[in-house]
Amino acid sequence: MSLKLIEKHRSFGGEQRKYTHYSEVLKCEMTFSIYLPSNKEMREIPLIWWLSGLTCTDDNFSQKSGFQRLAERYQVAVMIPDTSPRGEHVADHDGWDLGKGAGFYLNATQDPWAKNYHMYTYIVDELSAIASTLVPYFSGEESIMGHSMGGHGALVIGMKSATRFKAISAFSPILSPARVPWGIKAFSTYLGEDQAAWKKWDASELIKEGGMPPILITQGTEDHFYREQLDETHFLKNAEENNQIVHYEKKEGYDHSYFFIATFLEDHFSFHMQHLR
């Protein structure tokens, strides 16, 4: 394995690390970040996954959310993947909502994307195997959270492996990708025009299966992507019709930024820890 530690910072008693490695799944060099709490008592510790939004790398959450304070308080490791395959030879697009920085956490089937854009398998298989070697005293318990495109990713990945993840949460997620511009653009590009293929990557479809982990969603009312891209109506209707409990909360005056995430992250960690221990 080509895993290489490229950064290490002490943070709130634990360690914020950054690694690069060659991904066999994505066929390119990748970077990710991980936080390891101090774990002075050498207890078994769980792992929370964080998936970031469009244009982000592993740095946004690491540097802007202040999550390390909470991860150390709760003694939980946090894994932060990048948002797409990277590198000169990887297909890209002029827009910021497609191609690099916009992998949508799915496995692409259309050329030229099918060669590298397999963020789903990268996270659930390859990066998961790496995480389990990096977290000392790993309890095997996992949960997943994310923001915007990464909120979509957390919901889709969490629901596709509903027995593996103990809780799912999202800030301002894309809840019905097949009905909004960001999702339609990404799905038609990565998966093709046949909308039947879109359903297995659509949180509003997956939730119909029922039996999902507990879900918490937080949305700011002043988020300027809210009406066009992040509408919750269809998702919540499907959840209700299938007896899936979703804690959906709106926060007055908050926008789409990390200032919003940082404010309510403590609620999300608290929610996850209720189900991780």
- Residues acting as catalytic residues: 148, 223, 256
Give the dihedral sign, CA 65/66/68/69: negative
Beta bridge partners of 5: 19
Query: For a second copy, which residue of 109, 257, 267, 275 counts as binding (CB under 8 A)?
Result: 257
* Beta carbons of 236 and 248 less than 8 angstroms apart: yes
263 is a site residue for a second copy (CB under 8 A) = yes
Instruction: Supply the minimum distance, in Å, between the C-beta of residue 251 and a second copy.
Output: 8
The reply to whether 16 sits near a second copy by the rule CB under 8 A is yes
User: Rg for the chain (alpha carbons), in Å?
Assistant: 17
Q: Which two tokens stand for residue 274?
A: 């209720």
For 14, phi and psi rounded to 5 degrees? -100, -160
Distance of CA 16 to the CA centre of its chain: 18
Which window, 58-66, 89-97, 159-167, 181-189, contacts a second copy (CB under 8 A)? 58-66
Q: Give the residue from 218, 204, 198 showing the smallest Cα distance to 267.
A: 218
Looking at the Cβ atoms of 13 and 192, the one nearer to a second copy is 13
Among 4, 9, 224, 250, binds a second copy (CB under 8 A): 9
Count how many Cα atoms sit within 13 Å of the Cα of residue 1 in the half-sphere of its side chain: 14
Q: Which is nearer to a second copy, 158 or 220 (CB)?
A: 220
Q: Of 39, 68, 107, 219, which one interacts with a second copy (CB under 8 A)?
A: 68
Beta carbon of residue 100, minimum distance to a second copy (angstroms, whole number): 22
Q: Does 50 bind a second copy (CB under 8 A)?
A: no
Token output for 31: 């970077």
The verdict on 254 binding a second copy (CB under 8 A) reads yes
Q: Which of 49, 120, 165, 260 binds a second copy (CB under 8 A)?
A: 260
CA angle 70, 73, 79 (to 5 degrees): 50
Member of 233, 259, 270, 274 binding a second copy (CB under 8 A)? 259
Tell me how far apart the alpha carbons of residues 102 and 93 are, in angstroms, rounded to a whole number.
10
Q: Does the protein bind a second copy through residue 63 (CB under 8 A)?
A: yes
**86, 220, 229, 269: which one binds a second copy (CB under 8 A):** 220
Q: Which is nearer to a second copy, 70 or 108 (CB)?
A: 70
Can the peptide bond before residue 112 be classed as cis, meaning omega within 30 degrees of 0?
Answer: yes
**Positive/negative CA dihedral, 32, 37, 42, 44:** negative
Is 55 an interacting residue with respect to a second copy (CB under 8 A)?
no
Q: Give the residues lining the site for a second copy (CB under 8 A).
A: 9-13, 16, 63-64, 66, 68-69, 220, 222, 253-255, 257-260, 262-263
